[in-house]
Structure 1
Amino acid sequence: MLHALRLLACLACAQAAPMASPADALAVDVELVLAVDISLSMDEKEFALQRAGYVEALRHPDFIKAVRAGATGRIALTYFEWAGTVRDDAVIGWQIIDSAESANSFADKV
């Protein structure tokens, strides 16, 4: 029974994945998924604050410094918004972050 539950959990996670990672083709230090709750438990003000926080963090010099300090000096990053399901128009696909420019480009899409 426990084996079957583990299998079901793995299958559920595999199906929930938004898309394949580019890290398969390029070594990265971290594959980071920003999964953002936009359900009715949040109002517009909270949602805007949450989004602004992600943008500010992505642009922060300490974030870039931390990314560059890794063994490869880059991470793979994706962002999606969900409220029970993930909509295609609420997804920013996997991108490599390895500089202030790439982080700012990603932040612009958020």
Structure 2
Amino acid sequence: MKYRSKILLPLANGTLLFSLWATSAEQSQAIEIIDLDVDVELQLLMDVSGSVSHQEYLLQRDGYAQAFSNDEVQQSILQGELGKIAVQLVMWSGENQQSIMADWTLIDSVESALDFSSALAELARPFWHMTGVGSAIDFGTAQFADNGFSGNRKIIDVSGDGIENSGRDTQLARDDALTEIDTINGIVISPYQSVSDFYVDEVVGGENAFLMQVDRFEQFGDAIQQKLSYEISGDGIPPQATRVSVPAPGSLYLSLMGLILVAAACKRNKEK
């Protein structure tokens, strides 16, 4: 039996209710998948490694939760071209410690944003061990495939308070991720320049990428609200942020090919 069409009622929790129409019992079976269009597919990768105390975990978790109840964040969602985003939150620690805590959810209204905020506020911590940033990025990148949404932009947002000490090489993971998604942004929760440098050199990259830094977890809530507002709207970068110019691998390839063509043309001109 062949099935045609589908869609389509996006529910508040991001689930899609599909409606299928059968055409003929003699025809071969085929189901066409149509993803729901959104402005942004946004993934939040939240550090819960051992250097994060229980109180710091709560400040970080509640900062994300309160951001989605914030008027500016809500307006950045609703004033987009389509007025809706899909968001997922993953908590991570060591090499094999990543957990989807809030799966891909459609936010297209104040009510759905508040529902998502309430869900985040109830999350319990799953890990507290090593710091595997690269492994977290690998895990996160894989979650964009077949997630039921088609975003104009795909963004990973990484929070963290330390440098890699476990798992996949972070820079390689970042470079691989940027072949699949548009941007990886970061927010460092540490006063140390070494952590900021690590995020600039190995974590952040892609289109309009930027890094924010706060010294203490107590500052995280205000910073993440501002960060998400700019991230979702795509309207530049926050005033306190650092722009990170790490182009996606495809852009590097095009630049290299351009240089090769220019060099070849110069050589031909010299030979004339």
Q: Which residue of 1 aligns with 2:98?
A: 86
RMSD over aligned CA atoms reads 1.4
Query: 1:72 & 1:31 partners in 2: Cα distance?
Result: 12
Which of 62, 66, 73 matches 2:72? 62
Larger Rg: 2
**What residue identity is the alignment partner of 1:99?**
S
The one-character-per-residue Cα deviations of 1:29-77 (angstroms, maximum 9, x if unpaired) are 0000011110101001111100111111110011111101111000000
For residue 107 of structure 1, report the CA deviation from its aligned partner: 1.1
Percent pairwise identity? 36
Q: Which of structure 1's runs of 4+ aligned residues deviate more than 4 A?
A: none
Alignment partner of 1:101 is 2:107: no
TM-score under structure 1 normalisation?
0.73
The number of residues matched between the two structures is: 86
Query: 2:36 & 2:71 partners in 1: Cα distance?
Result: 24
Which of 71, 76, 84 matches 2:81? 71
**What residue identity is the alignment partner of 2:52?**
M
Query: 1:83 & 1:108 partners in 2: Cα distance?
Result: 23
| Relative contact order, higher structure (CA 8 A, sep 6+) | 1
Local SS of the residue matching 1:42: coil
For residue 97 of structure 1, report the CA deviation from its aligned partner: 0.5
Local SS of the residue matching 1:40: coil
Q: Which residue of 2 aligns with 1:38?
A: 48
Query: 2:118 & 2:63 partners in 1: Cα distance?
Result: 13
Unaligned runs of 5+ in 1: 1-21
TM-score under structure 2 normalisation?
0.31
For residue 26 of structure 1, report the CA deviation from its aligned partner: 0.7
For residue 86 of structure 1, report the CA deviation from its aligned partner: 1.1
